[in-house]
Amino acid sequence: MSMKHWIAGVSAATVVVSASVGYAEEVTLERLLAAGTEAEAGNWLMVHKTFDSNRYSTLNDINASNVADLRLIMAAPLGGTEPAGFGVGSMEATPLVNDGFIYVSDPWGTPYKFDLSSGTAARPVWICDTGIDKDPSRGILLASRGLALSGTNVITVLNDGRVVACDDETGDVVWDVQAATEPGEGFTNSAQVIGDKIIIGQSYGDWATRGWIAALDAENGEELWRFYTVPEPGQPGSETWLCEEAGNPDCWKTGGGAAWVAGSFDPETNTLYWGTGNPVPMYDPEYRPGDNLFTNSSVALDADTGELLWHFQYTPGDYMDYDEVGIQLLMDTQINGEDRKVLAHFGRNGIFYTLDRSNGAYINSTTYVSNLNWTEGIDPKTGLPLEYNPDASLQTYAIGAIDRAGATATTCPNIQGGTNFFPTAYNPELGIAYAVGIEGCSDLSVRTVDPADVRAGEIFTGGAGVGSGPLTGAINAVDLASSDVVATHSTTYPMYSGVLATPDLVWTAHLDGTIGAYDAVTLEEKWSMNVGTAFQAPPITFTAGGKQYVAIVGGGVGVAGFGYEELQNIQPANMLWVFGLD
């Protein structure tokens, strides 16, 4: 008997309650387009709340004046620690909410549905059995960053390369497609639903694979188009992969450029915006000389065809593992007194960028981490690092080269960022963007690998990037109009959770099990509670039964620890936590 049917059998009361309040309304394109309006304010229908990925909710029953009274209202255990005793993966998923039902995935991408209508308990409705083979070979890097709602289906993307649609009412599998077919390919992100299309991104670039973004038919999972982030010879951008110079003509085939965080969408122009990962191997640029387009970039794609409209590459020829998969924030605002349609991005490289989202033109930038040494600054005309040499096949940034002759370097920020996959947010009323991240540095070195020894499906670093000294964290607030860091809240541990913005608060959580709310302007802590599970997923807010709640998932081992004994001893108990007022 499958777990889904076992739950249904032993939870008859839950099914009766669910039926009495009705099932969640079908999620249409019209509802997704309205996700930021009053009509859908109480729901959280996609991982980044709205197509612009601002992660901003207008709900304000919980606010700075009463947040001190917030308490734990509901909790529910989740699976995903299998195989027993291994504690595989990390809980990085953003929950979704539709009409009082909450949907969440564990590190294996298994979808769970709970009924919150009672206001006192998160009652399990179903678990969708995807048939995933729980092979822990991907270890601590195993993750699922959330689900997607499409019509009457719940969409999950899996580490084995499949995309599965589960029926919202029953939890039964509606369709199951092997979208990623090459060795090593798979998914850790969430899908992005655009009407009758489901947008997915191949996530495992570091496993000697070639990154891509694709659209599937929402009805049956059939592929409609595919855009490769690493072009093949003869395609635009291929001239930036100087594989012949390296004596390795096929270096592009294992070039990375993964897309492992869901993108954004501008319905006015029908444009998708996704971030792409680092070139592979990440520490040995001599293996793949050149700028290595379209890695480390924001790419704008036509949603109907997948055609590349423009790109902006942040760190050409990267050898510091500064991939830029993180959220692409879209906003319409004024900069220097001029109305601009902007894409803003907290770079993993420690720099906050604003671009013109109509063409990718650089507008401005600012450093948001406390210690950045890899570049002396950004060229105000091009947006590229000052050290960038367009005529060089191998870039040497301010820290100096790391190479096969034995040269090493220390780079700041740490190879994980700055910020990373941790979702960022933007408060349009205040004009402030927020990010959490890591403060620290890394020591870099190269290890030469013969091309004959490279195997797709095996992690391919070409060297090492290890922490240099202690790592801490920070919450940062950047004023979009001025591009100034207006507030910073330093934290004891590196930050992985991501952020949620509400009218006067910013919400995030910590690796030691603490969730907190902070003043939206000053970042002063207004409330916190420690519930014990390490947090590497972002909070959301929603309404059920007319009341506002804040929800988050915790657990997993992931990459927590960093030498802190108290973090290393936290057990991987995966949980859903829901907070509210009396």
pLDDT at 15 exceeding the cut of 80? no
Q: Mean of the per-residue pLDDT values for the chain? A: 93
Number of domains in the chain: 1
Any domain includes 302: yes
Mean pLDDT value across residues 307-318: 98
Q: What is the pLDDT of residue 5?
A: 41
Determine the Cα–Cα distance for residues 316 and 275; give it in Å rounded to an integer. Answer: 14
Q: What is the pLDDT of residues 38-74, one digit of tens each?
A: 999 999 999 999 999 999 999 999 999 999 999 999 9
Q: What is the pLDDT of residue 147?
A: 98
Structure-derived torsion over alpha carbons of residues 559, 44, 576, 439, reported in degrees to the nearest 10: 30
Q: What is the pLDDT of residue 579?
A: 98
Any domain includes 505: yes
Q: What is the pLDDT of residues 169-210, one digit of tens each?
A: 999 999 999 999 999 999 999 999 999 999 999 999 999 999
Q: What is the pLDDT of residues 346-396, one digit of tens each?
A: 999 999 999 999 999 999 999 999 999 999 999 999 999 999 999 999 999
Any domain includes 569: no
pLDDT band at residue 3 using 50, 70 and 90 as cut-offs:
very low
Determine the Cα–Cα distance for residues 140 and 107; give it in Å rounded to an integer. Answer: 10
Least confident interval from 80-94, 328-342, 407-421, 510-524: 80-94
Q: Is the dihedral of CA 237, 230, 322, 521 positive or negative?
A: positive
Any domain includes 147: yes
pTM of the entire predicted model: 0.95
DSSP 56: B
Determine the Cα–Cα distance for residues 459 and 455; give it in Å rounded to an integer. Answer: 8
Any domain includes 552: yes
Between strands 143-146 and 90-94, the pairing is: parallel
Any domain includes 573: no
Q: What is the pLDDT of residue 6?
A: 36
Q: What is the pLDDT of residue 274?
A: 98
Any domain includes 406: yes
The residues pairing with 432 across neighbouring beta strands, listed in sequence order, are 427, 479
**DSSP codes of every residue in 472-527:** EEEEEEEETTTTEEEEEEEESS---S--EEETTEEEEE-TTSEEEEEETTT--EEE
- Is residue 233 reached through a cis peptide bond, with omega within 30 degrees of 0 on the bond before it? no
- The token duo for 228 is 């490769």
Any domain includes 71: yes
Three-state SS sequence of 28-67: CHHHHHCCCCHHHCCCECCCCCCCCCCCECCCCCCCCCCH
Q: What is the pLDDT of residues 214-245, one digit of tens each?
A: 999 999 999 999 999 999 999 999 999 999 99
CATH of the domain at 38: 2.140.10.10
Q: What is the pLDDT of residues 251-293, one digit of tens each?
A: 999 999 999 999 999 999 999 999 999 999 999 999 999 999 9
- The token duo for 295 is 């890695």
pLDDT at 85 exceeding the cut of 70? no
Task: Give the residue numbers spanning the domain of 101.
Answer: 3-557
pLDDT at 560 exceeding the cut of 70? no
Q: What is the pLDDT of residue 228?
A: 98
Determine the Cα–Cα distance for residues 485 and 546; give it in Å rounded to an integer. Answer: 37
pLDDT band at residue 337 using 50, 70 and 90 as cut-offs:
confident
Q: What is the pLDDT of residue 56?
A: 98
Instruction: Give how far the C-alpha of residue 146 lies from the chain's centroid of Cα atoms, to the nearest Å.
Output: 9
Q: What is the pLDDT of residue 140?
A: 61
Q: What percent of the chain has pLDDT over 90?
A: 86
Determine the Cα–Cα distance for residues 449 and 410; give it in Å rounded to an integer. Answer: 22
